[in-house]
Structure 1
Amino acid sequence: MAMRARLLLTLLSAGLVATAGAATQQDLARVEADLRRVAAPWCGRLAELDAQGRRHCTVPFESFGSAGAGNAFAFLGKANITDELLATLSVDELAAVMGHELAHLVLGHGLFRMRQRLAAVPGAPDNQFLPLFEQSSVEPHSQTPADPRAQELDADTLGLVFAGMAGHDVRHGAALWRTAARRVSGWAAHGSATHPDTVRRLANATAVADAFCRAAAASRPPWPAAERLLPAYELSRDEARQQLDRAALARACGRALPRKTAS
């Protein structure tokens, strides 16, 4: 019953999110800066060190222009969004969408799928593009699921966590998966063989948002539980804990967090 109640609240709030206003190119630039900052520990070879030894994620967020349908996609180290999708999203929803695409890149999903295709068809023409994918992607985790639908859920999960750590409302971001199909032209065109259905994505995103805010309220890093979604390449949990901004987490959860006590 509790899960159903949370889903109902998410659905009811979705109508408010839909009228929150269209995101702009300036919003895209701000979301890019926000997400790249918090995702740096995950970015692997897609990150650079500055003179002070601080790590910066280098993944660019780009407007793909008009494509006749709302879409966002990750390709060769870039997170792209069409004008049609950008114009329908609130800023919190934009952060969830671009967090999803950034997650695909830092989880190495494109590279994983390319290697899958080449393994199935040795000597395929795609082989010439493999070095490009390897240069523009983080190496996939050994536990990366083979099912593309599971990869999409992983990207939903980590992308929403990125959005929340950057201070964007995670429950508004989660509601996107319920409202987008009726608001965004072409959103429902994704095939069921590669993408989970809307109900599954909404349930997953709602659970992620709830877990995120429970962890934030308990002064724990609000990271996904699955090992494959953790920044194993760069920072330990303790190191990343120091980077968490409690003010941002409070904004993400729409409420003040308990004052952190000294240990």
Structure 2
Amino acid sequence: MMADQNPEQGSLNCFTCQARERTEWCVLDDAELELLNKGRLTREYLPGEVIFHEGDPCRGVFCLETGMVGVRKTDADGNSVLLYLVTPGDTLGYRAMLAGEDYRASAEALEPTRICVIDVPTVRSLLEHNPALGLRYLKRVSMSLGNAEEKILHNATLSVRARFAHLLLVLIDKYGEKSSDGPTEFELPLSRHDLASMIGTTPESMSRTIKKMESDGVARFAGRTVHIPEIEILVQEFEPDHYV
């Protein structure tokens, strides 16, 4: 069950947070950090718990300290589509906060997760007084737009197999024990249904792609465990020969 922790409780605070240097908040001075610390609430979520729902009023931004979060939207047929993953150091909810809108997607904990929630008045006050913070958020929005454009391009020009290979390479970069001249093994953090939705295909097409990659010796799958004999072979799957 979701658990709340006030800023005064425990040892966690904005001054000692190890994830802060990877966030927009790294530009704050001590006085601003004190304001940030007073305006936050730490929450812990179990896998499957919803952090906010699509359409909820924006109540703040969410800074991920540990764990992993999936951002989802509901399509026209009522199916849940996984859009992207949020990992420690990432920020959630900033677009709704900046635009003064409701949340346009839902966020769900995919593993035990700890998040700091910073209320809207605190964020807006800091943005008004620290131009560097605003530039950091502008950079975050620009990167998000670039990633969305890249995903649209991949879905339009790459085969399902190439898109899946690219996703595996991204996941290996985050979760795998990489080796340039040997095998790589890691645990998929997602179900096959979510993997399919992330690359814009169906679970059935995903299953066929996995079987073909196994028969070609590109990868082996056992449940959520993925074994890649050679990273270079997987990289070759993302080459122009695999464009549609």
Give the TM-score of the pair, scaled to structure 2.
0.29
Structure with higher helix content: 1
Structure with higher strand content: 2
Give the TM-score of the pair, scaled to structure 1.
0.28
Structure having the higher Rg? 2
Q: Which has the higher contact order (CA 8 A, sep 6+)?
A: 1
